[in-house]
Amino acid sequence: MPTERQRPDVDAYEARARRGPCFVCAFVSGHPDYAHHTVFEDDDHVAFLDRWPTLSGKVLVAPRRHVEHVVRDLDQESYVRLILVVREVALAVEDCVGAERTYLYSLGSQQGNAHLHWHIAGLPPDVPYEQQQFHALMTENGVLAMRPEEFVDMAARIRERIVARGGLQTL
Give residue-wise pLDDT tens across range 35-78. Answer: 999 999 999 999 999 999 999 999 999 999 999 998 899 999 99
Q: Say if CB 121 and CB 136 are below 8 A apart.
A: yes
Per-residue pLDDT at 30 = 96
Is the pLDDT assigned to residue 115 strictly greater than 60?
yes
pLDDT at 20: 87
Predicted local confidence at residue 126, as pLDDT: 93
* Sign of the alpha-carbon dihedral angle for 10, 97, 118, 138: negative
| pLDDT, mean of residues 97-108 | 95
Q: How confident is the model at residue 167 (pLDDT cuts 50, 70, 90)?
A: confident
For residue 171, the model assigns a pLDDT of 61
CB atoms within 10 A of CB 143: 21
**Can you give the pLDDT at residue 31?**
96
CA 50 to chain centre: 5
Segment 73-101 mean pLDDT: 97
Residue 45 and residue 47: Cα distance in Å, rounded?
7
Q: How many angstroms separate the CA atoms of 171 and 167, rounded?
A: 7
pTM for this predicted structure: 0.93
pLDDT value of residue 170: 65
List beta partners, residue 125: none
92 CB burial (10 A radius; 0-12, 13-18, 19+): buried
Specify the length of the chain in residues: 171
Does 2 or 152 have the greater pLDDT score?
152
As its CATH architecture, domain 5-170 has 2-Layer Sandwich (3.30)
CB atoms within 10 A of CB 45: 22
Closest CA to 41 of 27, 55, 31, 53: 27
Look at residue 9 in the predicted model and tell me its pLDDT: 87
Residue 21, classified by CB atoms within 10 Å of its CB into exposed (0-12), middle (13-18) or buried (19+), is middle
